[in-house]
Structure 1
């Protein structure tokens, strides 16, 4: 299982291989042949995890790795009860981060699944030292927070245990991705719903406008670094969707396009859609909802979104289509979160 215990909070993850050996009630993890942590597991609700040995100079990272291992192998596992005698020096940092929370029992700390998946590292390639400061402004008659500068490069990476593959998101680069975007938009299957078929120059203009628009971020989705999809993530408050529902200041919206036939199907959708939503909730902790407005007759996509816990709030009419308003709240996404 890929993991890098040496990454610092502000560095890009350098993914190595984490190996586990479970014999009887004991789980031992090693990183590149070096012992990392050993725990004794007692089945219960929550699972009781007794810390036995830990790499002395990587205590915090080792405990994170064990949490990741145990939560990833069992999506139904909601919490872990860590028995940590003597309170090592690295425990306060884990309490401060939210990886661990206190319990009423002495020397027992809890790892909550809903908190674990809200930690920004190592999923995000870059983590700023805090949320972007808020300053309200008005653009095109809409009052909204000033948006942060757009990122460049890879913004999200996670190993999907079910697929046995990396799912990642990077920002679109017009010159690098124009031909690919043009090919995807001219696929009849895509054109039916997007209605953006056209020439290379038309698509260059389309993407260049979005690149200059502070409220929209264009992304390329990849499996094992192979591009397969195009996504637009937008701030809903200043988008065309805002008049149709009470948009909050930090709601994000998404447009989705899978361009490569080989990466279609429910199992792939479950991976990339959860990754996209996960990224948007991690990108700014003030984001409480992710919304989408697929065509109301796109039953397949709406069904996929229901599978990922979106709900259909209503149908409404844009000038160019009848749309379904799909909404997924932050609390619902992370509560009993099925990420692995």
Structure 2
């Protein structure tokens, strides 16, 4: 049984620590030093998981955590088959497990697992927000929820061995950092937003007051490295250039810290950013972006994460590539670990 990620411990967003003792046929998981679950493993050819005696009445959290470990240590694993003596009512209800045609057997599908919002998602105001259509600036769109504050997403990237998290931008706290990033020659060549602290405060104040845009800071191990803008496409300048759906989200991306550049880092933060937006509101079926058409490096990175270029088009200020990633495609090829 191939195990690409040679894990012995895995941190959880709750602050707990998961430690494993694993062989080809057995897995023992301890949570914060206490036994959580003991499993027998068999490949035939897909992974079959059975509970050891004494751990045959697991709660939902134990099942979820075990699935997380098994998917994290093998990003190529697409499903787990659980052999259970009791019907896992809660796990069936929330989609963690799906019944099979075999008595006592249940599947956990990677494509379903990563759509479960907890524990990765912080407070979400969008997911349960009712729909009411409104018109603003001549555009008809759903009324948007109040924007969140603070940390909105956190996940330990097993391949990097680092936390990837997203928090909302705090203008007073982040202004100097944002100003430094925007005034670097590399960033300015694509964003064209060089300016003073006062100009950048005005820029961020405008976005703060805009209900269709959420400003985010990306962090590795809680150290800020990037700035993102997540917007509702229906109300954005991109809407006239494609058939925008009511809950499409768009992204603008800026990596400010040089030591966090590179394809392995992009794979981590771009998948996390898309993951957050798809979890934030399950009605979101597509994430779009419009990088400059001549930004071949970023377009290549995005294609590596499942985006495709639908077309090129002309904004007043740039020739852009319309990059699109659908919900189904993201979760079907989901390589989160």
- The aligned residue for residue 150 of structure 2 is 153
Note the C-alpha offset of 1:62. 1.0
TM-score, length of structure 1 as denominator length: 0.94
When the two structures are aligned, how many residues end up with a matched partner? 329
Aligned: 1:238 with 2:235: yes
> 2: distance between equivalents of 1:207 and 1:323?
23
Note the C-alpha offset of 1:23. 3.0
From 245, 248, 267, the counterpart of 2:245: 248
Note the C-alpha offset of 1:44. 2.4
Aligned pair in 2 of structure 1 residues 322, 129: CA closer, same or farther (>3 Å)? Answer: closer
From 263, 272, 275, the counterpart of 2:272: 275
* Offset from partner CA, 1:163-205 (integer Å, 9 cap, x none): 0000000000100000000000000000000000000000000
Note the C-alpha offset of 1:31. 1.1
Aligned: 1:46 with 2:46: yes
Equivalent pair of 2:28/2:38 in contact (CA under 8 Å): yes
- The aligned residue for residue 192 of structure 1 is 189
Pairing of 1:135-150 with structure 2 (within 5 A)? 135-150=132-147
**SS at structure 1 position matched to 2:195:** coil
After TM superposition, the structure 1 stretch with the greater mean CA deviation from structure 2, 48-57 or 155-164, is: 48-57
- The aligned residue for residue 326 of structure 1 is 323
Note the C-alpha offset of 1:51. 1.4
- The aligned residue for residue 93 of structure 1 is 90
- The aligned residue for residue 27 of structure 2 is 27
After TM superposition, the structure 1 stretch with the greater mean CA deviation from structure 2, 214-223 or 17-26, is: 17-26
Aligned pair in 2 of structure 1 residues 56, 78: CA closer, same or farther (>3 Å)? Answer: closer
> 1: distance between equivalents of 2:54 and 2:126?
28
Equivalent pair of 1:37/1:53 in contact (CA under 8 Å): no
- The aligned residue for residue 82 of structure 1 is 82
> 1: distance between equivalents of 2:109 and 2:132?
33
User: Where does the alignment leave 5 or more consecutive residues of structure 1 unmatched?
Assistant: 5-12
Note the C-alpha offset of 1:127. 4.5
Equivalent pair of 2:126/2:281 in contact (CA under 8 Å): no
TM-score, length of structure 2 as denominator length: 0.95
> 2: distance between equivalents of 1:224 and 1:58?
31
Equivalent pair of 1:36/1:54 in contact (CA under 8 Å): no
- The aligned residue for residue 307 of structure 2 is 310
Note the C-alpha offset of 1:47. 1.0
Aligned: 1:37 with 2:45: no
> 2: distance between equivalents of 1:42 and 1:329?
34
